[in-house]
Amino acid sequence: MSMVRLSRAGRLAASIALCSIALMGCSKKAEEKADVAKSQIVARLGEDVVTTQELDNEFRVAQVPADKRKDPAVVRQVLGELVSRKYLVRQALDAKLDREPTVLLDLLRARETVLAKAAASREVAKKSSAIVGSDVDAYISSNPMKFANRQVASIEQIVVPTNAASQDVFEATREMKSLDEVAQKLTALGIAHSRSTGALSSADIPADVFDRIRQRQADDIFLLRGQPNSVFFKVNTVETRPLEGEAAARLARQAMQVDLARSEASLASVEAVLAAKYEGDYAEIMKIQAPK
């Protein structure tokens, strides 16, 4: 009888020991996970945290090169902006702004925009992966002004923030014969601008624009409007600088990917219109016009 009790007691002690070992193992794993989680946190704002994954994503969105992501000045700027956004988000949530109808619609739109971009990017990436060397060669051959006959114009320019100047301002400078006149007009109107030298390549701007550059008169002043800046410029010289080899192939692939993105966006727009069923007055407004 006493032997049986001792055996049971031994088994109980062994079980307790095994449980202790298991608990120690679980505790150690939990501590390891906690250490990993702690190492992934770069900042805390009350109950909110900023993780290394979020910071890496900010670098990606801001297109910060990999070799600059440890630069203290870059980290300070990007992380500071991320922390500021997190802080304002917490204030918005505490004020229950996420329940307001317009905010809800904006959040829905932001989600749809991200998902739509992801879907389009996936299709472009899939088709881009099918581009082979012969496709690149064919593109280079069919676009001589971008490659074999590429021309580069050396220019003097005045850069103006587009939003700072009205259409009237651009119209007022149309007949001016020098950049000095343009600069004087902008200064008189109190419009910020900067003056410098630069270059324009036939590979980067529309063919009709570069044709005008080649047919220019000595005192012609050109205007390229865009966002965020517009540029007044005068052409000094134009020379042929062929683009060849790996540099040409790289540019050709990039251009082909841009064309694919545009084509994909156009195709998706057509498919969406065909798939949608419009209601009420919108059915007539959105009715597809048959070609004449």
pLDDT of residue 60: 94
pLDDT of residue 290: 43
Q: Are 228 and 163 in contact (CB under 8 A)?
A: yes
For every one of its 292 residues, what pLDDT tens digit does the chain have, with 9 covering 90 and above? 444 444 555 554 545 454 454 555 555 555 545 554 556 999 999 889 999 999 999 999 999 999 999 999 999 999 999 999 999 999 999 999 999 999 999 999 999 999 999 999 999 999 999 999 999 999 999 999 999 999 999 999 999 999 888 888 888 887 788 999 999 999 998 999 999 999 999 998 888 888 888 888 888 899 988 889 999 999 999 999 999 999 999 999 999 999 999 999 999 988 998 889 989 998 888 876 544 4
pLDDT of residue 176: 85
Q: For residue 121, what are the CA distances in angstroms to 124, 209, 264?
A: 5, 30, 9
Q: Considering just the CA atoms, what is the radius of gyration of the chain in Å?
A: 31
**Residue among 233, 230, 222 at smallest CA distance from 163:** 230
pLDDT of residue 27: 56
Q: Are 170 and 225 in contact (CB under 8 A)?
A: yes
Phi, psi angles (nearest 5°) of residue 200: -125, 135
**Residue among 223, 231, 232, 229 at smallest CA distance from 162:** 229
Type of residue numbered 9? A
pLDDT of residue 29: 53
Q: Are 158 and 223 in contact (CB under 8 A)?
A: no
Tell me the CB-side half-sphere exposure of residue 64, using CA atoms within 13 A: 21
**b/e map 276-286, b = 16+ CB within 10 Å:** eeeeeeeeeee
pLDDT of residue 6: 46
pLDDT of residue 274: 84
- How far apart CA 140 and CA 244 sit, in angstroms, is 9
pLDDT of residue 8: 52
